[in-house]
Structures are given as structure tokens and as C-alpha cells.
């Protein structure tokens, strides 16, 4: 159940919004004073804040800035609610950190629609990787389940894993490692756009693991395009000595010095999955088995199943 904080000096407005939002399935914390609002907001931990501009104790713009500057609340959507309808007032609210600005008197259904929109966007934002900007696990799971339940067998689910990435990270540091992950994510976007621009999906499971969904007839072309582009770009992340050697020297899991090849890519391609016979968990297990086979092959490779 989404949680919403309403801060307005009008008891009537607070009650009206509380009733409206409660009926729509939200949990509401209403308050008419802004003095201790920050602590109360943190304690309630809402998903969205509706904030009046004109308050008797603390200016709404100032409170908005306080919420934006506090790491515990800086990520929350904030809607400013006020009787001030001049452009300068709206600009001031947006510059203070508000995501939306609604002028009183307002239409309750419009407020409700805007709140739903901001909550939906906030939920989606949480599900995206902050590093690559790609959809994360929640959206990935929804996409895979949608593929399985649709009955459309003309689909390929590609699980991608960078080989020897930990060794690269240990040698060059996480900043360079993050740069490599962002580059790989760009390669995936661009490759899929080339091979299947209308029917595709790219997601970031986490770390050096990614997922791509394309029509099954595009499996080989997509895998080959991705591998070729990754293999072109990876060497630029190494110094000349490591590129010449074809490996880096760092400690293994036992703490012993060992040689690790340059980063390559393994792809497990699950084609034409029958959603009536397999579920999301089984797809995950199958992909793990296929990735193991791909990793046993030299260099970057893909295996279908």
C-alpha cells in the first residue's frame, strides 16, 4: 500500500485529501504544521509528499529544500499545492525541488491522477540500475513472466555475463570497472537497436550480468553483433602491457597470485520457451546451465538451448 504525507495548514484540505487517497488504497499521514515535518516524514517513510506552499510556521519552499537536501527524503516525489498560480510562483516551487505544482482550487480527480503518475514513475525509477540506466530485476522479472504467459514462442531470452570481470575490477579499480559496465550496456542497447529495433528488451540484472530479449529468429545475429562489439571495445580498458600479454596478474579467491585473461562475454540464449511448461525460476536455472557451457568455450561465446 503506497504511503503519502499531506502537509497543509488547512484541516479541510488535509481531511479531503486523506479521504480521497484512502479510498484509492493509499495510507495517508496528514499534518497541518510544518515545524517538525521533516522528522515526521522520516518516521512515516512515505512514497510521496503533498506540500502546501503557504504555511504559518515554515515556508513551503524552504521545507521542500530541506526535504531535497536530506538524504533520507531527497528521492521522494514532492507535489506542491497552493493558491499561488503565477508563473513565478510555479518556477519557485520547481526550483525548490518540487516535481509538480497544483493550484487551488483543484479538481480532486486530477490530483489523484497526478499522484498515481508520480508513484508509478517513482516505482519504475527504483527498478532501474543507477549505474547503467537499464531496467533492473523487478522490471526484468515482469518482462520474462510476460513473455512466458503470452504464449508467444517466437522469443529468445539472452542472459549475458562478463568473464574475468572481478579480476579486471581488482586490477584497475571499481571506477574503471563501472566505466566498462556502462560501455557494455551501451553496446547492448545499440546492438539490439540494429538487429531488432521494434521488439526487444535490455535489462541489467546487477554487477556484470545483463539480459536481452529479442525475437528467436534474431538470436544468432544479436549474439554475434553483441560479442563483436564487446570484443572491439574491451581492449581499450587495459594498458598496453596487459593488452600485449593478454592477461592481468592479480590474486585469486585463495589469495594466490594468478593470471586472468582479458574480459570476454558469455551468453546463454534460451529460444522459444514454452510458458505452459516452464516458469521464471526454471528459466533462471536453465540459463545458469547454458552459461556454464558458454564459459567453457574459448573467448567470447554464446550457447543456445
- The predicted-structure confidence for 79-132, as pLDDT tens digits, reads as follows 998 887 778 888 888 999 999 999 888 899 999 999 999 999 888 777 899 899
Task: Categorize the per-residue pLDDT at 248 as very low, low, confident or very high, splitting at 50, 70 and 90.
Answer: very high
Distances (CA, A) of 118 to 48, 130, 194: 8, 18, 33
Specify the higher pLDDT residue, 221 or 39. 221
Average pLDDT over all residues of the chain: 92
pLDDT in the model for residue 89: 82
Domain covering 137-304 assigned CATH 3.30.70.270 in the classification: yes
When pLDDT is averaged across residues 240-264 and rounded to a whole number, the result is 95
Cell numbers standing for residue 51: 506540500
Q: Provide, for the chain, the percentages of residues in helix, strand and coil under a 3-state DSSP scheme, each rounded to the nearest 5.
A: 50, 20, 30
Res. 249 pLDDT band, cuts 50 70 90: very high
- How far separated are the first and last CA of the chain, in Å rounded? 40
Please state whether the predicted TM-score (pTM) of the whole model is above 0.75: no
Confidence at residue 35, expressed as pLDDT on a 0 to 100 scale: 78
> CA 228 to CA 43: how far, in whole Å?
51
**CATH 3.40.50.2300 holds for 3-126:** yes
Given a cut of 90, whether residue 162 has pLDDT beyond it is: yes
Q: Which of 10, 14, 72, 60 is nearest to 35 (CA)?
A: 60
CA angle 77, 79, 83 (to 5 degrees): 170
pLDDT of 240 > 90? The answer is: yes
Distance CA(305)–CA(301), nearest Å, equals 14
Is the predicted pLDDT of residue 152 greater than 80, yes or no? no
> Contact at 8 Å (CB) between 140 and 203?
yes
Give the mean pLDDT of 236-245: 97
Residue in this structure with the C-alpha cell 485529501, named with its chain if needed: 17
User: Which pLDDT value is given to residue 258?
Assistant: 94
Amino acid at each position: 500500500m503506497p504511503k503519502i504525507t499531506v502537509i497543509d495548514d488547512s484541516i479541510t484540505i488535509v481531511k479531503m485529501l486523506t479521504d480521497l487517497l484512502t479510498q484509492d488504497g493509499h495510507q495517508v499521514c496528514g499534518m497541518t504544521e510544518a515545524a517538525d515535518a521533516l522528522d515526521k516524514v522520516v518516521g512515516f517513510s512515505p512514497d510521496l509528499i503533498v506540500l502546501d506552499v503557504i504555511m504559518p510556521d515554515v515556508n513551503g519552499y524552504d521545507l521542500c529544500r530541506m526535504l531535497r537536501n536530506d538524504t533520507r527524503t531527497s528521492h521522494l516525489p514532492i507535489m506542491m499545492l497552493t493558491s499561488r498560480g503565477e508563473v513565478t510562483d510555479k518556477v519557485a516551487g520547481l526550483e525548490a525541488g518540487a516535481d509538480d505544482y497544483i493550484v487551488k482550487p483543484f479538481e480532486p480527480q486530477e490530483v489523484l491522477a497526478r499522484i498515481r503518475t508520480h508513484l508509478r514513475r517513482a516505482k519504475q525509477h527504483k527498478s532501474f540500475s543507477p549505474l547503467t540506466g537499464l531496467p533492473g530485476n523487478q522490471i526484468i522479472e515482469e518482462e520474462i513472466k510476460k513473455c512466458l504467459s503470452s504464449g508467444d514462442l517466437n522469443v529468445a531470452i539472452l542472459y549475458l555475463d562478463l568473464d574475468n570481470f572481478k579480476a579486471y575490477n581488482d586490477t584497475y579499480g571499481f571506477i574503471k570497472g563501472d566505466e566498462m559496465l556502462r560501455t557494455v550496456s551501451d553496446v547492448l542497447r545499440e546492438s539490439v537497436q540494429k538487429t531488432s529495433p521494434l521488439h526487444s528488451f535490455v535489462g541489467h540484472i546487477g554487477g556484470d550480468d545483463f539480459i536481452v530479449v529479442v525475437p528467436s529468429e534474431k538470436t544468432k545475429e544479436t549474439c554475434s553483433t553483441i560479442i563483436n562489439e564487446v570484443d572491439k571495445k574491451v581492449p581499450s580498458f587495459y594498458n598496453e602491457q596487459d593488452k600485449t600479454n593478454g592477461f592481468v596478474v592479480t590474486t585469486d579467491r585463495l589469495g594466490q597470485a594468478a593470471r586472468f585473461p582479458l574480459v570476454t562475454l558469455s551468453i546463454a540464449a534460451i529460444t522459444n520457451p514454452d510458458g505452459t511448461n516452464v516458469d521464471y525460476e526454471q528459466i533462471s536455472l536453465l540459463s545458469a546451465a547454458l552459461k556454464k557451457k558458454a564459459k567453457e568455450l574459448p573467448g567470447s561465446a554464446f550457447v543456445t538451448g
